[in-house]
Amino acid sequence: MKKVLISAFLFVGTLLTASLSAEAIDFKAKGVWDFNFEWQQSSFMKGDGDQRFSPKQRLRTQIDIVASESLKGVVFFELGKTIWGRGVDGASIGTDGKNVIKLRYSYVDWVIPYTDVQVRMGLQPYVLPGFVAGSTILDADGAGVTVSAVFNDYLGATAFWMRALHKNYDSNYGISKLPNFKGTTLDVVGLTIPVTISDIKIAPWGMFAFAGKKSLLGESYGDIEDVRAGLLPAMPAGFGYSWGAGNPFGDVFPNKKRGNAWWVGLSAELAGSSPLHIAVDGAYGRADLGSLRNVVIGDFLLDKIDLKRQGWYAALLAEYKFEYVTPGVIGWYASGDKVDSRGASKRIPTLVGNWSATSFGYSGAYGIGKDSVFGNTIAGSWGVVVQLKDISFLENLTHVIRGARIQGTNNKDVPEHLGLSYVTTIYDTRGGDNMLYLTKKDYAWEVDFDTEYKIYKDLSVALELSYIRLELDKKLWNLQREVDKNAYRAGLNMKYQF
C-alpha cells in the first residue's frame, strides 16, 4: 500500500506543481471521508460467519483539472472501503495492505468548437433517468463516450456508448476450448431526451446492448455478477452464471453468435417551487442471448434452455413538504416469472441498478453503511414504502421514519420447477447482489429510523436503525430451519465533506 499511496500523492503533487508553470490551468479538489461503526446481520442465513461489527472507512476525492470553460479533465480516487483490523486492507496493527486505492473516474470533458455540444471521454458514471428512487436498470461506472447538447430552455439530448465488458476471462479460468477472444464484448448505447416545461420534467430514453456469446464469461471483476444476473433468466439449480467454470456446462455456449438486449423508458417529475412533488418511472425491456442445447444437469438432460428475459416495471412517488416534515409514499410493480421449463423469464432485464427506496433493503444507506439486502433492482417484485422525511424540530437535526412491504411477483411454482430447493440458491446463483428472488407467496417487511445531525457545515453524523422480517412460504422452500428471518442494522456514521 505504501508504494501505491506514494504514487498517488506524487501524481497529485505533480499536478499541483504543474500549476505553478501553467497558470492557465485551475486545479480544484473535493471529496468526502466516511466512517462507519455498525452492528448488523443481513444474510438471512443462520450461522453466517460474517463479523457483525466491522468498523470501516472510505475516502473519495475528485480533482478537476480545468483549462477553460470548454476543456477540463477529472480524476476520481477511492481509498477503501477499509475495514479496521484487516491486514489486507492495510488497517491491522503495523501493516500496509494492497489493492486499497481505486481509480473510479478518469475522463475529459470538452466542447466541440463553435457549438454547445459537450463530449465526455473515459471512465465515467452512466445513469439512466429515475426520478422515483434512482434507476433500477443502469446506474454504474464504465468506460466510453457521452455526447450531450442543450438545444434551448426546454429540450436537450444525451447519447452514450459504453464498453461494459471485454475479454474478462483467461486460459487458466477452467474453460478448455476458447481459441480466441471473439464474442467476448458487451457494448451498450443509449439516448435520453430531457424535456423541461415550467416545473415539469420529462425524460424519455432508450438503450440497446450488443452481447457477445462469451461476454459474460470470466472473473467477477466490477459489477459483472450483477450484469449476469440481470440479463439471464433464473436457471435450473446447478447452473453457474460464469458459464463453463465450476458448473456442469463445461464448454457449452449459447447458439447465437451475438445476443442483444433493449429497453425503452419514460421518467417524469413535477417539482419546483410547489410543496407537492410527484414522480413516475416506467420501462419495458427484452434480452435474447440465444439458447443452450442438450444440457446435462446431474442425471437430467435438457434439450433446450432459452436465455431470454422480457418484462416491465412502473413506479410512483408522491410527497408533500410541510414546514417540519415531508410525508410521502413510493409504490412500484414489476412483472415476474411464469413457469417455463426452458428458462425464459418475464422479469425486466437489468444491467447494474441502484434502487434507493429504503436505506437497508435497498441502496439508500447513508455513506458506507450496509444496505441492498433485497438487492439493487426491483425486477420480479412489488412494493409500497410509506415515509416521513425531513422531520426537524431542532436546528441541524433531521429524522426519517420509513415502513415498507415488499412481495414477489414470480410464480409460486418456479422454485420447484427449476429445482431451487433451498433459500441459499436465491442468493448464490439466482440473484447474487442483483436481487432477492421472491415468489407471490413470499414477502418482507422493513422499518427504518434514520437521524442526521450537522456538527459543522462540512461534518455530520448519522444514526441508522433498521429491521427486516423475511417471510418465505414453507411449502416452496425447503430447509426453513436454515433461514434466519430477521435482518437488522444499528449504525453510526460520520461524514466529512471538503
Identify the band that residue 260 occupies on the pLDDT scale cut at 50, 70 and 90.
Answer: very high
Residue 60 sits at the vertex; the CA angle it makes with 59 and 64, to the nearest 5 degrees, is 145
Pairing, β 300-320 against β 276-297 = antiparallel
Question: Which carries the bigger pLDDT value, residue 303 or residue 32?
Answer: 32
Instruction: Please give the pLDDT value at position 398.
Output: 98
- Distances 192 to 58, 115, 132, 139, 368 between C-alpha atoms, Å: 33, 19, 17, 14, 30
Identify the band that residue 342 occupies on the pLDDT scale cut at 50, 70 and 90.
Answer: low
Q: Which CATH class is domain 112-497?
A: mainly beta
Question: Which carries the bigger pLDDT value, residue 405 or residue 231?
Answer: 405
pLDDT, tens digit (0-9, with 9 covering 90-100), for 357-395: 999 999 999 999 999 999 899 999 999 999 999 999 999
Identify the band that residue 86 occupies on the pLDDT scale cut at 50, 70 and 90.
Answer: confident
Identify the band that residue 50 occupies on the pLDDT scale cut at 50, 70 and 90.
Answer: low
- What are the structural domain ranges in the chain? 1-104, 112-497
Q: What is the pTM of this model?
A: 0.89
DSSP, collapsed to helix, strand or coil, labels residue 104 as: strand
Pairing, β 71-83 against β 56-68 = antiparallel
- Scan for cell 450496509, then name that residue: 370
% of residues, the chain, pLDDT over 70: 79
pLDDT at 18 over 70: no
- The one-letter amino acid code at 86 reads R
pLDDT, tens digit (0-9, with 9 covering 90-100), for 99-151: 578 899 999 999 999 999 999 999 999 999 999 999 999 999 999 999 999 99
Pairing, β 139-150 against β 443-454 = unpaired
What is the mean pLDDT of the segment spanning 69-80?
95
The values of phi and psi at residue 230, to 5°, are -85, -25
- 181-190, 212-221, 422-431: segment of lowest average pLDDT: 422-431
- Scan for cell 422480517, then name that residue: 469
pLDDT at 485 over 60: yes
Indicate the burial class of 2 (C-beta count within 10 angstroms; 0-12, 13-18, 19 or more): exposed
Mean pLDDT, the chain, rounded, equals 85
Give the closest residue to 374 by CA, choosing from 383, 314, 366.
383
Alpha helices in 147-259 (DSSP H): 224-231
- Distances 480 to 300, 380, 421, 422, 474 between C-alpha atoms, Å: 26, 22, 10, 8, 7
pLDDT at 171 over 90: no
Counted residue by residue, the chain has a size of 498
- Distances 5 to 11, 13, 34 between C-alpha atoms, Å: 10, 12, 18
- Scan for cell 501493516, then name that residue: 95
CB-based contacts of 14, cutoff 8 Å, min separation 6 = none
DSSP E strands, 128-253: 139-150, 156-165, 186-192, 195-197, 200-212
What is the mean pLDDT of the segment spanning 26-51?
85
pLDDT, tens digit (0-9, with 9 covering 90-100), for 454-476: 999 999 999 999 999 999 887 77
Give the closest residue to 62 by CA, choosing from 112, 103, 24.
103
Instruction: Please give the pLDDT value at position 248.
Output: 37
